[in-house]
Structure 1
């Protein structure tokens, strides 16, 4: 009986041994320490994140503000306009005042040549003579014919007065006489053509004549040139034509270094179709003949006076449209752009128009500012 009761108890003890029990550290004092630490940290983080709502900061404005850019600092110089003389300059060529080809007015053999090439001659000077033999024979024949015609005319009139001649015969005799007179005059003119003379005073530039040479009527025998005075020809563009007028003085510098004073003697009124320029001529005295024709010359003509500013070329700039101009500062420190025109150039600067009589010109910093921009001009102002 005791064995039947003990068996179930043994089985229960065996089952308890086979089923593992969970570990418990109820007896360890540090078992709950990690739990408390995690809880404290959690509370601290939540408190820190919520502190912005519970304790808002005094400055709650988070808007980002930008400072306005400061005006660009520039240096300015006050410039005052002055009266300057305007000049028109051009390159030209010295031409002879007169240049003529000499031609034979009759045919025949050259009997003598009285001048040589390069010789200076006066107006009317004899250059050469033809052989007058043929002309002398023609003159004798014409004179005899004239005498005969005169006698027949006289006889016809005498007979008409006595009534033994008719008016028709008198008229016929008169016509014969007129023809004989015309023949004599023609031969006399031919006699004058036997002498080749200078049409004006000048220098024999070319001479193609030899004694005994046969020359036909109209043949070119030489060329005579007058370089006293000289004529300097220049080409004037159409936009500058109104600046020139006849009578203006001109300074002429030749390529040889010779300088002369001349006068504008001609201004054209019809432009060349190829270049659209007008011819202008300056007369230069050259009585000594020291300046030859054909050389280059530089002409300077004063064309009037104007008010202009003297500036350094370094302060000239271009606007966005490519216009040449100068930047200035007005009373409100605003940049203004003035279109300019160069009226005179010197080694140390240029004279320009287009600015007011007094202007604060930007001398340093003009490349960093634009028109209508506010700037900070330098307090130091240097007068021109």
Structure 2
């Protein structure tokens, strides 16, 4: 073979050139591999990469938002105290009434006669006691006889009072000013004691009742301002006027009531409403609810990166949530919140963080 190459010198020159080129390319490739190995991103060395956004706490008004039920300020169901027939419907249901106004009348039957008889008995007994007192002063009758006559007078007076009450109960009157809301009987119906006749409600004021969690009730005080939001978007101003002393055994929550003025007598009782209860100013972070996660104990929290590039999980208290985001408390004043990749990293894990676009 060498004899053939000696006869063709140009082949030797080509072979040498190819060897030199291969040597140069091998050296460049090795250098490139060394450089790439030295400059490779940390993610290629086994560290997860996450995007973060710097958030700083800002003051906000703390508030509790709970669902409530609008109720009439007062509601009473008037029942029959005596037996009798409905002889007159003095007012139409749905109409406003004043305190003491007659709403419905029952038959008096023999009750006026019972009152007249009682009045006569009382007059007779009073005369007997008056005469006996004078005789007792002259020692013409015993003290026991005088006491017996006085007892009979007291009994007659009690019977007269009962007869008068029975007669007065034939007239059903409004115990307070309000709206004649419902009627359960019709003209001519015969009713018995305890039977429901009608319902009267007072809507000059309204109360909105709700249940609030036991961990939040300590932040409430009587007299706090409350914004009441109705389903149609209207809002009313209210005041917290009742907080239950004991929690409901089933839900472990406390009943609260908010007083709302209703000078226009708006028909809102029975409707649903949302209560916004202001509980003072606090420092909090505003973030997307999608960034909230749960730890193994079921607590709400967020993941963030510390100065050592380690993932941290901090439980937070959810202050309020709306369509724009959530306000939470419990985080450090300034925090690098993980906005991308939080579902793939765990607390304590070393990561490489990169500032998200638009992050500060």
For 1:325, which of 292, 296, 302 is the aligned residue? 302
Match of 1:52? Answer: none
Deviation at 1:375, TM superposition (A): 5.0
Structure 1 residue 358: Cα displacement:
2.1
Residue of structure 2 equivalent to 1:16: none
What does residue 223 of structure 2 align with? 247
Q: Is the 8 A contact 2:305 2:336 kept in 1?
A: yes
Q: TM-score, with normalisation over the residues of structure 2?
A: 0.75
Query: Alignment partner of 1:245: what SS?
Result: coil
Deviations 1:62-83 (A, max 9, x none): xxx9968743465544322111
Distance 1:378 1:178 in 2: 96
Q: What SS class does the counterpart of residue 216 from structure 2 fall into? A: helix
Q: Which residue does the alignment assign to 2:314?
A: 339
Contact 2:238–2:258 (CA under 8 A) maintained in structure 1? yes
Structure 2 CA distance for aligned equivalents of residues 258 and 189 of structure 1 = 47
Where structure 2 has 5 or more consecutive residues not aligned to the other structure, the ranges are 1-33, 44-48
Question: Are 2:132 and 1:156 aligned?
Answer: yes
TM superposition score normalised by structure 1: 0.71
- What residue number does 1:196 align with? 172
Cα pair 1:263 1:282 within 8 Å, conserved: yes
- On the 8 A contact 2:65/2:320 being kept in 1, the answer is no
| 1:219 paired residue among 157, 180, 195 | 195
Once residues 255 and 322 of structure 2 are traced to their aligned partners in structure 1, the CA distance between those partners, rounded to angstroms, is 28
1:309 aligns with 2:280: no
Aligned-pair distance for 1:134?
Answer: 1.7
- Which residue is 1:102 aligned to? 78
Of the structure 1 ranges 94-103 and 363-372, higher mean CA displacement relative to structure 2 is found in 363-372
In the alignment, is the contact (CA less than 8 A) between 2:64 and 2:320 conserved in 1? Answer: no
Out of 123, 144, 154, the residue aligned to residue 178 of structure 1 is 154
Q: Highest Rg: 1 or 2?
A: 1
**Pair 265,141 (structure 1): closer, same or farther in 2 beyond 3 Å:** same
Separation (CA, whole Å) in 1 of partners of 2:86 and 2:162: 21
Q: Pick from 80, 92, 97: which aligns with 2:68?
A: 92
Q: How does 1:269-284 map to 2 (within 5 A)?
A: 269-284=245-260
Deviation at 1:246, TM superposition (A): 2.0
Listed as ranges, the gaps of 5+ residues in structure 1 are 1-64
TM-aligned CA distance change 1:254 to 1:363, over 3 Å: closer
Determine if contact 1:319/1:325 at 8 Å carries over to the other structure: no
- Alpha-carbon contact 1:329-1:362 (below 8 Å) kept: no
Aligned residue in 1 for 2:242: 266
Describe how 1:1-384 pairs up with structure 2 within 5 A: 70-72=41-43, 75-132=51-108, 134-161=110-137, 164-313=140-289, 324-330=301-307, 332=308, 334-341=309-316, 342-364=318-340, 366=342, 371-372=347-348, 377-378=353-354, 384=360
Deviations 1:21-54 (A, max 9, x none): xxxxxxxxxxxxxxxxxxxxxxxxxxxxxxxxxx
Alpha-carbon distance change, 77 to 215 in structure 1, aligned in 2, over 3 angstroms: closer
| Deviates most, 74-83 or 275-284 | 74-83
The range that moved more, 163-172 or 185-194, is 163-172
Count of residue correspondences:
318
Q: Sort the Cα spacing of 1:158 and 1:240 in 2 relative to 1 into closer, same or farther, 3 A.
A: closer
**Whole-angstrom distance in 2 between the partners of 1:321 and 1:234:** 28
